[in-house]
């Protein structure tokens, strides 16, 4: 499979996505770029975020990427349709796995860990209204997580307290709705072990990449 995949994120979070793609699709060239200057995006206006993102994706397009993965839930849930009007190669977004969580929960209570901008987006509310209208969705305050992870200064005791609080509320599915959080996924799984399943969309995105490349016959 001779193709080039662009992977974009606001910060280091998307690097885990790029690495997962490289591992699953070793013949694919993966070009990872991020916007370390302006990270995090979750507390910024979407007009401002668009002004950062559009030129970066245009550059990936000029680099002859066949597909671009937007490894940022904030951008995917708020701006991907607008970006598709400007970028002429297929864009694959990442968004909270609300549907999968609703299908797998046994307690009827799931948690979505995401940025304030993702939680406020119309797309996220559509996902909840469509797939989670018969279950309870808990949205813990994760507003400090991206900054901690980007600075390599994670407060592990704070994260443990938050995950324990979710489990005490009978949450049995924890959705990671920001790629930054993939870097503490192992910690979250350890804390929630035996009590809650942790979901994140890397494998789903890889399957979408394969389907998209087949559709455009790369």
> How far lies 65's CA from each of 27, 38, 61, 68, 114, in Å?
14, 23, 6, 7, 28
CA 131/CA 144 separation, integer angstroms: 27
Strand order in the sheet with 29-34: 29-34, 4-9, 67-70, 91-93
Per the residue annotation, which of 65, 142, 167, 178 is the catalytic one?
A: 178
Determine how many CB atoms are found less than 10 A away from the CB of residue 42. 24
CA–CA distance, 159 with 156 (Å, rounded to integer) = 5
The string of DSSP codes covering 156-208 is HHHHHHHHHHHHHTT--EEEE-SGGGGGGHHHHHHHHTTT-EEE-SHHHHHHH
Catalytic member of 65, 72, 113, 142? 72
Overall size of the chain counted in residues: 218
Give the span between the Cα atoms of 54 and 118, in whole angstroms: 18
List b or e across 140-156, with b for residues whose CB sees 16 or more CB atoms inside 10 angstroms: bebeebbebbbeeeeee
Active site residue 178: yes
The answer to whether residue 113 is catalytic is no
Q: Which residues are catalytic?
A: 72, 178
């Amino acid at each position: 499979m001779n193709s080039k995949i662009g992977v974009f994120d606001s910060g280091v979070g998307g690097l885990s996505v790029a690495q997962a793609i490289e591992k699953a699709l070793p013949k694919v060239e993966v070009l990872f770029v991020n916007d370390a200057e302006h990270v995090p995006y979750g507390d910024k206006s979407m007009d401002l975020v668009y002004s950062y993102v559009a030129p970066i994706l245009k550059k990936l397009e000029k680099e002859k990427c066949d597909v671009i993965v937007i490894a940022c839930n904030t951008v995917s849930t708020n701006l991907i349709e607008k970006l598709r009007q400007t970028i002429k190669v297929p864009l694959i977004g990442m968004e909270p796995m609300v549907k999968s969580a609703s299908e797998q929960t046994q307690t009827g209570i799931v948690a979505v860990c995401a940025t304030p901008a993702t939680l406020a987006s119309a797309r996220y509310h559509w996902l909840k209204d469509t797939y989670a209208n018969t279950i309870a969705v808990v949205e813990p305050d994760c507003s400090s997580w991206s900054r901690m992870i980007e600075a390599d200064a994670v407060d592990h005791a704070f994260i443990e307290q938050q995950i324990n609080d979710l489990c005490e509320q009978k949450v049995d599915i924890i959705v990671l709705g920001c790629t930054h959080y993939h870097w503490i996924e192992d910690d979250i799984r350890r804390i929630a072990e035996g009590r809650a399943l942790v979901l994140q969309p890397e494998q789903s995105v890889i399957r979408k990449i394969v389907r998209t490349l087949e559709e455009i016959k790369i």
